[in-house]
Amino acid sequence: MRDPFNRSAAIVGVSESECGRGVALTPLQHQAMAARKALDDAGLQKSDVDAVMTTDVIGLPSLMLAEYLAIRPRFTDTTVTGGSAFVLFVERAALAIAAGLCEVVLITYGSSLWSDRHRFSTEAVDPRMPSAQFEFPYGDLSPISAYSLAAMRHMHEYGTTSEQLAAVAVASRQWAMRNPGALLREPITVADVIDSPMVASPFHKLDCCLMTDGGGAVVVTSAERAKDLRRPPVYLLGSGFSTTHMTIPQMKDLTISGAVESGRLAFARAGLTPRDIDVVQIYDSFTFSVILALEDLGFCEKGRGGEFVEAGHIGPGGDLPTNTSGGGLSYTHPGALGIFLVIEAVRQLRGDCGERQVPDAQRALVHGIGGWLSAHATLVLAR
């Protein structure tokens, strides 16, 4: 088997469907639209695809997608790790290509979360997650309750403040103002975040990700095949995955996440360190997610993440541009954000981002988070 890293696999096409609120598309239609545009971006046809990867919590999503697109894949993957799955799929695609199981992998995601939001009013305890029976009766509204619990512990241990959490939202909005496709583009201040309604302490409304419709697609192939395609390839240098728990009471230390291990693996496989990264995309389900991941991935010291973002490092003009599309806080969030992080990283490395372009971006880190800080997937990409 060939080395799946060291530039042996490349992302050659990316695109989204229509992202926003009230988009009149089903999840499969979102995936089909994004897939068509991503394949066109790569200069490939549907007939070139011999592997599909997608996921959902029910059904046979990869088979459903393949049938809908009239693709007969040699390989599929439907691993369910929440929002980290679509970051993990890039690693899985590289492994499958290196093993000779396939050559062109189509990764997709689609959701009509905003249009279907009424379904949350009837949700009950999921019988597949039996520990939830001990949490839901006491008002648990996870994932927000789980993330707020971890955030409160971090504030207690390290003195992280609500103003520092708000600095993440402000930086994301500053990037979104440079992204014509972002849902929210009006400027906000730290005071605006603090003054927005409290949802689950310490999270105010503007500390929380959006709820939208949308979809995305990513095309991965071998480095050899990538040489002759339409757009400059973006290579996988390293990746890592870690899962530490499912429900938040089983998280050993609420201030240390699985990003420590996934980041360590990704950097080791890439032969790089955090100092070598030019642009970062982190799953920002909540403002705290970014602070915790920046610490655990090694971009700043443990407990100093709040100070780091407050100092302006992650916004436009900062030395660690982060979530340059506006992220889940201001750009889009149709239930899972991971695939959009990959798409934005690829566009930054290809120089396609216009006003929000990071100058001379050579290497990017993508970090997806799934569940209740449960599953972490990290990629190191390079042009």
Helix 85-98 vs helix 338-350: crossing angle, to nearest 10: 70
Place of tokens 């599909």: 52
Q: Is 217 within 8 Å of 35 (Cβ atoms)?
A: yes
Q: To 5 degrees, how large is the angle CA 9–CA 109–CA 282? A: 70
- Beta strand residue intervals within 151-255, DSSP E: 198-200, 203-204, 214-222, 234-243
Q: Say how far apart CA 79 and CA 92 lie, in whole Å.
A: 10
CA distances from 362 to 214, 235, 308, 315, 327 (A): 28, 11, 23, 18, 20
* DSSP labels, 90-107: HHHHHHHHHTTS-SEEEE
Q: What's the burial of 261, exposed, middle or buried (CB within 10 Å: 0-12/13-18/19+)? A: middle
Q: Say how far apart CA 245 and CA 189 lie, in whole Å.
A: 35
Q: Which tokens sit at 350?
A: 């290809």
Q: Which of 109, 158, 235, 331 is catalytic?
A: 331
Q: Say how far apart CA 284 and CA 108 lie, in whole Å.
A: 20
Does 283 participate in catalysis according to the annotation? yes
Q: Which of 109, 147, 158, 283 is catalytic?
A: 283
Q: How many Cβ atoms sit within 10 Å of the Cβ of residue 275? A: 7
Q: Is 286 within 8 Å of 373 (Cβ atoms)?
A: no
Does 331 participate in catalysis according to the annotation? yes
Q: Side by side, which strands form the sheet with 9-16? A: 75-77, 51-53, 104-111, 214-222, 9-16, 234-243, 375-382, 363-370, 279-282
Catalytic residues: 283, 331
